Chains A and B, each alone.
Chain A
Amino acid sequence: MSRNLDLSRRALLATIGAGGVAALLPGCRSAVEQAGDAGAGTPTPGGVLKIAQAADISPKTLLSQNNPNMAVCRTVFNTLFEYDHKTLAAKPGLAESFQLADNGATVTLKLRQGVTFHSGRPFGAKDVLFTLDYLRKDTTSSQLKHVAKAIADASATGDGEVRLRFNHPVSNMFDLFEIMLILDSESIGDLEKGAKLIGTGPFAVDSYTPGSGLKLSRNEKYFKHRPYLDGVDISIITQSSSMLASLRSGNTHLALDMAPLDAAAVRNDPAYELVVADPHDSTFYLASNVKVAPLDRKEVRQAIAWAIDRDRVLKQVLGGIGSTSSLPWSPSSPAYDKTAAQSYHYDPAKAKQLIAQAGAAGVRLDVVYNAGLATNAAIAEIVQYNLKEAGLDAAAVPLQAADFQGKLTSGALPGLFVNGHGFGHLNPATLVKGAFPFNADRNASNFDSAEYKQLADTLWKATDDTARRAAAAKVNAFLLDEQFVSDLVVSAHTYAITRKVRGLAWSMFDYLNLDETYLAGGRP
């Protein structure tokens, strides 16, 4: 039995009308307009820069160079010196000048006067000494710890002066001064908990909500009399596609390190710009655990280096950002050698022949990668294909990030592994003494060589250009021969920005520098 209780046309229209009202509600005051206030023109002050990044900041690892902290390091804190990007000369930061003595084994730093922390406390020599002590602690993570540990004596020699005496001449001490954020000793406990991040930088932290983001506001007492911006909002957006959508919707002005495919979409859109950071310190590599057969044999590792199609990795995975290379150095490094960097190239026939000669044809090899990183997954697939082409039974094996990192640091990865490294762009000693894949004292490949240790030490202690270049050349020849790490592509960090973002800068360690950044149109 049917009843005539059909929904009336009036009821239907009323429903549609209610829906329309609901749809208009957002128009009262737009969250989108708040973020993307339009305008163009001269560097006028004002506005809040909206930044999106994939991972939450990690207050406990502020003194090591890692991606989640790139946006807060140089916006909230300062370093002692800042490298000039072209000459690599040390420009003043919290230290105004330096004086070397004892053949480079002692340095005296003249500190800037009149600088205050965000808490209002004056910055001074004891803060530099405190940060050095903090960095040397076992619980503190830093790739430049080996430099800090080489300091035999550190003292305040005057009101604004610090003298550091090293055990021996150290070639990469200015890498330490560039990477080391000067921390506030009084709030260090709160800093580790993320409760207070107090520095001397252009912006002070208003609020930090773990997992959500930070709100920064201009430091009115900043010693450089900037910034232009009223503030910075940093949001954590874990999905790269959501980051892209946020950028396109006007919710975000700057997206840090989007996945290459999303970055390519930005590059093809005239409304946005994909800025490639010039340090080129984001290198992708394929490495071997040399304790696993047949990777314990140099000729097999060399064959693998010939097998990989680096051009394909560069074009298909990294969207053409960077350059292929058989060595870890970026063009800015004093160790960079253009000819040596192209020593290995894609030659599957040669790879197949070498593998057959080594009696390794058909051997099963796992190519392990961090499944949380789309870039590494795509590279591992190419590697798997190339190695099969060369006669090896290769299989790409994903591991969860925490599992991968644990096995990497304990040298327990079962064969080949794909990953990324930095530190190929500045002093070469920092790479061979501090970057884990290449660290001569201990590395993920379990590669232990007295010759390599000696080469690394010589490079570290070589303070004049001629000696450093000679040592670097020997390291290059050694790395090319041993191939415990086969570098593939030297790439770079990227910043996807809307066209209204101007004056963006970064340090040689890719710390975002917003001193001179402004939004075209400024304050609404």
Chain B
Amino acid sequence: MIGYTLRRVPSALLVLLVASWVVFAILRLAPGDPAVVLAGPDPSPATIDAVRHQLGLDQSVWHQYATWLGGLLSGDLGTSYILGAPIGTLIGHGLGNTAQLAGAALLLAVLVGGAAGMALGTTRRKVTGQLLGGLVSLMYAVPPYVSGVLLVLVFAVTARVLPASGQVSVFDDPVLGAQYLIMPALCLALPAAAVIARFLAASMRRVLDEDFVATGVAKGISRRRLLWRHVLPNALPPVVTVLGIQIGQLLGGAIVVEAIFAWPGVGLLLLSGVLGRDYLLVQDLLMLAVTVFVVLQSLTGIAHTALDPRMRDQEGR
């Protein structure tokens, strides 16, 4: 087990190193220059050159790469060219907000998708099934940038019960924070909820056809007990696998939703970094994403090895 973990480390480090080259090179290849953005609306060449020197962009590409990598290894993420603030602080703040949004969206996706999936998987009424099926298809088909606008139109502009945009942390003020969170989270959750509902419904129908359910009915077990204690637990494993994939998609979808609702998370931070050619900020954010992915992949491999004796044997050979 320890040997397996240690063997994984070099390949993980190699992936991170290659990713750092790719991330660094892609940004330098993109047209545009942060010094020009920072030099203001009508800059002179002297101003642009001075800003470029101040940012260290007049150094060789290798020097810039080495400086950045050295900073990362020593825990210094650098300072944002455009926003001027330490990148660690910016990411910390943005990550907290995105985590709130993605967490709430995940909760909603599980609740809405779970309820819809159970209803869809157990109903015998044709009309109800068709209605629920149509609703779930709609939830999946409507992209967040459409559902976001519709939600704002209904709940913020017409009914005026929820704020159209902005953010208050749920940890600072839970009541106000929840109001700011509901619409973006719902908007982000709907497609994921639809996927969960479809998988859960299919899984429940499969389990309902199992013989042990017929036995339970014959023994007179109550409907509720049979559903919650026997059918649902057996139907959940494939849904949990899908849920894992949906978490990644929620984080990706957060970029669009954050822009619609002016939610100051990492998605919006990344977008502003790309538009302003804020090299360091974008490099750090992309490397963070790659690192999280690599760590999760490594942990998954380690967990599989721990859980599955056959894999341990394979590794041992």
A interface, CB within 8 angstroms of B: 1-8, 12, 15, 25-32, 34-35, 52, 56, 58-61, 64-66, 137-143, 145, 192-195, 209-212, 235-239, 241-243, 245-246, 248-252, 372, 399-403, 405-407, 409, 434-436, 439, 442
Within the complex, the shortest CB–CB distance from A523 to chain B, in Å, comes to 19
Residues of A within 8 A of B79 (CB): 193
Is B217 an interface residue, CB under 8 A from the partner? Answer: yes
CB distance from B183 to the nearest CB of A (A): 10
Residues of A within 8 A of B125 (CB): 6
Q: By the criterion CB–CB under 8 Å, are A400 and B123 in contact?
A: no
- Which A residues touch B44, using CB under 8 A? 145, 442
B48 x A409 contact (CB < 8 A): yes
- Known contacts A143-B41, A210-B85; is A245 also within 8 Å of B156 by CB? yes
Out of B45, B226, B275, name the residue touching A402 (CB < 8 Å).
Answer: B275
Asked if B298 CB lies within 8 Å of chain A CBs, one says no
Once the chains bind, are B83 and A35 in contact (CB under 8 Å)?
no
User: Does B26 touch A at the CB level, under 8 Å?
Assistant: no
Q: How far is the CA of A435 from the CA of B125 in the complex (A)?
A: 71
Query: Chain A residues with Cβ under 8 A from B84's Cβ?
Result: 59-60, 192-195, 210
Contacts of B153 in A (CB 8 A): 245
Q: How far is the CA of A12 from the CA of B166 in the complex (A)?
A: 34
- Is the pair A409, B167 in contact by a Cβ cutoff of 8 Å? no
| A228–chain B nearest beta-carbon distance, Å | 24
Chain A residues whose C-beta falls within 8 Å of the C-beta of B40 in the assembled complex: 61, 64, 66, 141-143
Chain A residues closer than 8 Å to B50, beta-carbon distance: 137-139
> Cβ of B28 < 8 Å from any Cβ of A?
no
Question: Per-residue CB proximity of B178-222 to A under 8 Å, as 1/0?
Answer: 111010000000000000000000000000110001100100000
Q: Does B101 contact A (CB under 8 A)?
A: no
Tell whether, in the assembled complex, residue A209 and residue B166 are in contact, meaning their CB atoms are under 8 Å apart: no
B contact residues around A141 at 8 Å (CB): 38-43, 47
User: Smallest CB–CB gap between A29 and chain B, Å?
Assistant: 5
Distance to closest chain B CB from A397 (angstroms): 13
A195 to B89, CA, bound (A): 12
**Are A242 and B262 neighbours in the complex by a CB distance under 8 Å?**
yes
> Which of A59, A143, A211, A401 is close to B94, meaning CB atoms less than 8 Å apart?
A211
Contact of B165 among A59, A245, A372, A406 (CB under 8 A): A245
The reply to whether A26 and B32 contact each other, CB–CB distance below 8 Å, is no
A245 pairs with B41, CB closer than 8 A: no
Residues on B with beta carbons closer than 8 Å to the beta carbon of A241: 149
On chain B, the residues within 8 Å of A4 by CB distance are: 124, 217, 223
CB of B36 closer than 8 Å to a CB of A? yes
B300 to chain A, nearest CB (A): 32
Q: A64-B42, A405-B36 are in contact. Are A210 and B124 (CB under 8 A)?
A: no
CB distance from A273 to the nearest CB of B (A): 18
- Given known A-B contacts A26-B179, A236-B262, A31 and B231 have beta carbons under 8 A apart: no
Report chain A residues within 8 Å CB of B45.
442
Minimum Cβ distance to chain A for residue B225 (Å): 11
Task: Say how far A67's CB is from chain B's closest CB, in angstroms.
Answer: 9
Assess the A15–B115 pair: CB atoms within 8 A: yes
Chain B min CB distance to A197 (Å)? 11
